[in-house]
Copies of this chain bind each other. A is one copy, B any other.
Amino acid sequence: MIDAPIDHVAIVVKDLDAAIALYTQTLGFSFVYREIVADQGIEAVGVRTGNAVIELLRPLDEESPIARYRGDAQTKLHHTAYRVADIRAELARLKAAGIRLIDEEPRRGAHGNTIAFLHPKSTGGVLVELCQPPGGGPPREG
């Protein structure tokens, strides 16, 4: 993960439209994508700042673990994703280094990315995602 840029910081939200308005209209981010990621039970909206994205996540099911994590907060920081060129190689390296993985096998994330989560038990409680863009590694265009 050496020199892996931050791909996105994810924030789980209650009111997606309010969060989009805050980030785009008030804070000045630009809108990038909006899609349902059924596999993860979320609707994801990417808003860009500089070369990184804030990903706003709305749980599709208010009884899901991600909704329970957010609780009554309007918005809550959820995870940080790092962009890697070869996600399988990176997962193998981290596993060999003793990191427990949520996703032994990478899966599809938002925006065409291939993603995998490390287990928070191995990262002091903070959720960390590895993220390989459709074309391969860095950089993200735009």
Query: CB-defined interface of A22-59 with B at 8 Å, one 1/0 digit per residue?
Result: 10001111100000000000000000011110100000
Chain B proximity of A72: nearest CB distance (Å): 9
**Cβ-defined contact, B77 with A126, below 8 A:** yes
**Cβ-defined contact, A49 with B126, below 8 A:** no
**Cβ-defined contact, B123 with A49, below 8 A:** no
Query: CB-defined interface of A1-39 with B at 8 Å, one 1/0 digit per residue?
Result: 111111001010100001100100011111000000000
The listed residue with most B CB atoms (<10 A of its CB), out of A29, A51, A97, is: A51
Tell me if A80 counts as interface (CB < 8 A to partner B): yes
- Complex: A86 Cα to B59 Cα, angstroms: 36
- Complex: A27 Cα to B126 Cα, angstroms: 13
Chain B proximity of A71: nearest CB distance (Å): 10
Which residues on B sit within 8 Å (CB–CB) of A4? 28, 49-50
- Complex: A75 Cα to B128 Cα, angstroms: 12
Tell me if A60 counts as interface (CB < 8 A to partner B): no
**Cβ-defined contact, A74 with B125, below 8 A:** yes
Tell me if A119 counts as interface (CB < 8 A to partner B): no
Residue of B nearest to A70 (CB): B125
Residue of B nearest to A127 (CB): B77
**Cβ-defined contact, A11 with B126, below 8 A:** yes
Partner of A49, one of B1, B27, B75: B1
